[in-house]
A and B are shown apart, each in its own frame.
Chain A
Amino acid sequence: MKRRDFLKQTTFASGMFFVPQFLKAFEQIPTKTFGNKKVVIIQLKGGNDGLNTIVPFRNDIYYQQRKNIALKENELLKVSDEFGFHKSLKSLQNLYDKGFVSIINNVGYPNPNLSHFRSTDIWQTASDSNEYLQNGWVGRYLDYTKANPTKAIEVDESLSLLLKGKTQNGLAVTDSKTLYNSLREPFYKNVIESQSNAHLSEHNLGYLYNTMIDAKSSAKYIFEKTKVKSASNDYPKNVFGKQLKTISQFINSGLDTQVFYAGLSGFDTHANQQNSQERLLKTYAESMEVFVEDLQKNNNFDDVLILTFSEFGRRVKQNESQGTDHGTANNVFVIGKNLKKQGMYNNLPNLSDLDANGNLKHEIDFREIYATILDKWLQVDDTAILNKQFSKLDLV
Chain B
Amino acid sequence: MKSTHIQHLFNRIGFGITPKELKRLSKKSKHEIVDEIFSNSKNTTPVEVDLSFLKDLKPGDLKDREKRQEIQKIGRKKVNDFSIAWMDRIFNPKEILREKMTLFWANHFVCQNKNILFIQNYNNKLRENALGNFRNFTKTVSKEAAMLGYLNNKQNKKKSPNENFARELMELFTLGQGNYTETDIKESARAFTGYNHNYYAEFVMKKKHHDENNKTFFGKTGNFNGDDIIDIILEEKQCARYISEKIYSYFVNENINKNHVEEMTNLFYKDYNIEKLMRFVLLSDWFYNSENIGTKIKSPMEFLAGINTIIPYNFEKEKQVLLVQRLLGQVLMKPPNVAGWQTGRNWIDSNTLVRRLRLPSILLNNAEITYSDTGDEETMITDLKSKRLKRKAIIKTKVDWNSFEENYKKIDNKSLITHVLQSKINPGTEKILLENIDIPKKDFCIQLMSTPEYQLC
Contact = CB atoms under 8 A, between A and B. Distances in A.
Contact of B350 (A218, A266, A270): A218
B371 interface: yes
Given A157-B374, A179-B351, A199-B427, A280 B381 contact: yes
Contact of B426 (A205, A238, A265): A205
A3 B365 contact: yes
B429 A194 contact: yes
B219 interface: no
Interface of A: 1, 3-4, 6-7, 9-10, 12, 14, 114-118, 130, 149, 156-159, 169, 171-175, 177-179, 181-183, 185, 187-188, 190-191, 194-196, 199, 203-205, 207-209, 211-212, 214-215, 218-219, 236-240, 242, 265-266, 270-271, 276, 279-280, 283, 319-321, 325-326, 356-357
Nearest to A200: B426
A219 B436 CA distance: 28
Given A10-B436, A115-B167, A215-B351, 16 more contacts: A6-B446, A156-B374, A175-B371, A178-B371, A179-B350, A187-B447, A191-B428, A204-B345, A208-B297, A208-B456, A211-B350, A212-B354, A238-B385, A239-B384, A270-B155, A325-B163
Interface in B376-409: 377-378, 381-382, 384-387, 389-390
B339 interface: yes
User: Which range holds the interface residue count of chain B?
Assistant: 35 or more
16 contacts: A10-B443, A130-B178, A158-B349, A159-B349, A171-B350, A172-B351, A183-B354, A190-B432, A204-B295, A209-B452, A212-B354, A219-B350, A237-B386, A265-B378, A279-B382, A325-B162
Contact of A321 (B152, B367, B377): B152
Given A116-B337, A239-B375, A270 B329 contact: no
Contact of A157 (B160, B351, B382): B351
Interface string B350-383: 1111110110010011110011101101100110
A270 B349 contact: no
B451 interface: yes
Contact of B384 (A159, A191, A238, A271): A238
Nearest to B168: A115
Given A178-B372, A239-B384, A321-B162, A194 B337 contact: no
Contacts of A14: 435
B432 A195 contact: no
B119 to A, nearest CB: 19
A337 B345 CA distance: 39
B348 interface: yes
Contacts of B285: none
Nearest to A7: B361
B451 A191 contact: yes
Interface in B321-362: 327, 329, 337-339, 344-345, 348-355, 357-358, 361
B232 interface: no
B387 A3 contact: no
B349 A114 contact: no
Interface string B186-199: 10000000000000
B157 interface: yes
Contacts of A4: 365-367
Among B365, B384, B443, the most chain A Cβ lie within 10 Å of the Cβ of B384
A239 to B, nearest CB: 5
Contacts of B381: 265-266, 276, 279-280
B162 A319 contact: yes
B455 A208 contact: yes
Contacts of A218: 350
A208 B348 contact: yes
Contacts of B371: 175, 178
Contacts of B452: 191, 205, 208-209, 212
Contact of B353 (A157, A196, A215): A215
B64 interface: no
Nearest to B355: A182
B453 interface: yes
Contacts of A156: 374
A178 B391 CA distance: 11
A187 B387 contact: no
A159 B297 CA distance: 16
B73 interface: no
A51 B158 CA distance: 26
Listed from nearest, the 8 A-B pairs whose CB atoms lie closest are A194-B428, A215-B350, A266-B381, A320-B160, A208-B452, A238-B384, A159-B349, A174-B372
B182 interface: yes
Nearest to A112: B182
Contact of B155 (A173, A188, A321): A321
Contact of B370 (A9, A178, A203, A237): A178
Contacts of B353: 208, 211-212, 215
B28 interface: no
Contacts of A320: 155, 157, 159-160, 162
B329 A158 contact: yes
A236 B377 CA distance: 14
A183 B358 CA distance: 9
Contacts of A321: 152, 155, 162
B377 A265 contact: yes
Nearest to A206: B426
B201 to A, nearest CB: 19
Among A158, A175, A183, the most chain B Cβ lie within 10 Å of the Cβ of A158
Contacts of B446: 6
Contacts of A356: 182
A271 B154 CA distance: 11
B167 to A, nearest CB: 7
Contacts of B339: 116-117
A156 B178 CA distance: 31
A325 B165 CA distance: 12
Contacts of B436: 10, 12
A305 B377 CA distance: 25
Contacts of B427: 196, 199
A181 to B, nearest CB: 8
Nearest to B378: A265
A132 to B, nearest CB: 8
A265 B357 CA distance: 30
A183 B450 CA distance: 12
A319 B162 CA distance: 8
Among A14, A156, A169, A208, the most chain B Cβ lie within 10 Å of the Cβ of A208
A14 B436 CA distance: 11
B389 A212 contact: no
B349 A205 contact: no
Contact of A3 (B152, B364, B432, B453): B364
Nearest to A175: B372
B423 interface: yes
B128 interface: no
Nearest to B451: A191
A181 B362 CA distance: 14
A174 B374 contact: yes
B27 interface: no
Given A3-B364, A187-B450, A204-B456, A114 B167 contact: yes
A191 B429 contact: yes
Nearest to A182: B354
Contacts of A187: 447, 450
B349 A12 contact: no
